[in-house]
Amino acid sequence: MLAFRLTGLPDSRLPLYLYCIGTQEQKVQLRPEGFPVHQLFLSRSAVGELKIQGKGSWPVGAGQLWVGEPGVAHEFYPHSRTNGELGYIGIGGGSAGSVLQAAGLLNEGPRDLSDFEQFWLRMADLWHELDDDKSDIWSTSLIVYQLILDIARSVSTTQEKADLTGVVGVPMSPGQREADPGSEAFTRAVALMHAHYQDDLLLKHVAEAVGYSVQHLNRLFHQREGVTGHQYMQRLRLQKASDWLDKHPRASVREAAEMVGMEVNYFIRMFKREFGETPGKGIKQRNQSSSEKGEPDVTPTL
């Protein structure tokens, strides 16, 4: 067992820091006033029941993780007096809660953790570094932050594997698997394109950002828009350029092309293919319309 270990006085500049760390034998644990900071619990072999005030109760098994929030009463009752082992990592700091929330680790009961043993060993290594005075509060903060990210990824991977078989072990159809994740990925991809159409944004980077391959993302766009992701992004840029030219009749074709991040000659060709006329012709027509209304004519340029 690794004895309960408090760390030194935290630096106020740290958004999160290691407050305490250790392991304990499986035993009844009652905290009617909660704990001062967030805690990551790792159940190596402990088996029992967890109760969290205002949230519910859950069975706890080996290889699981859960997070306790500060000041929230909780109880743990083991099913037997075996040599079960429970590890804990206390995390303080003004951003600890928001980081854990963003990582998807809050507001949930115990969850399976893939490759559990490697996380247990990393916790033990951190304890020994502290015990040997080989790590300070700054370096442990970085270690804890990386540990949270890796745990979040592990929990997500475990959940994805469970989702593929469904709740009763029956394989789900491709349509069932892709319904919700695909819709979410498509919505995020479109939002990214609208937010960054002026930037040098490549479809492969959009795909990476939503967690899909380019081929898979293209299939989503074909299903919903009838075009590839690249075609959708190009049409978006051309439409934005056309709208911008409508609002800026004195602008040049080059300015419009640069505004949407396209090379000017390529922009002219794609613009004509999309709208049936060159952007310069559209500018001339708008200027002629303005001249008829008594406004000064402006000759379009590249």
Amino acid letter, residue 278: T
Contact 119, 152 (CB under 8 A): no
Give me the residue spans of the domains in the chain: 5-165, 174-226, 232-292
Nearest residue to 10 (alpha-carbon basis) of 125, 140, 103 = 140
Q: What percentage of the chain's residues is helix, strand, coil (to nearest 5)?
A: 50, 15, 35
| Residue 57 bridge partners (DSSP) | 51
pLDDT averaged over every residue in the chain: 85
Output the CATH code of domain 5-165.
2.60.120.280
Class of domain 232-292 (CATH, top level)? mainly alpha
pTM over 0.75: no
- Burial label for 140, CB within 10 Å (0-12, 13-18, 19+), is buried
Q: Tokens 């998807």 sit at which residue?
A: 104
* Amino acid identity for residue 54 in this structure: G
> Which structure tokens are listed for 35?
């704990």
Distances from the Cα of 8 to the Cα of 1, 141, 144, 237, angstroms:
21, 12, 15, 54
What's the pLDDT tens digit per position in 11-62? Answer: 889 999 999 999 988 888 899 999 999 999 999 988 889 999 888 899 999 9
Tens digit of pLDDT for each residue in 66-103?
999 999 999 988 887 667 889 999 999 999 999 999 99
CA distance 68 to 73: 9
CA angle 65, 67, 70 (to 5 degrees): 160
Residue 270 has pLDDT above 90, yes or no: yes
Residue 82, pLDDT score = 63
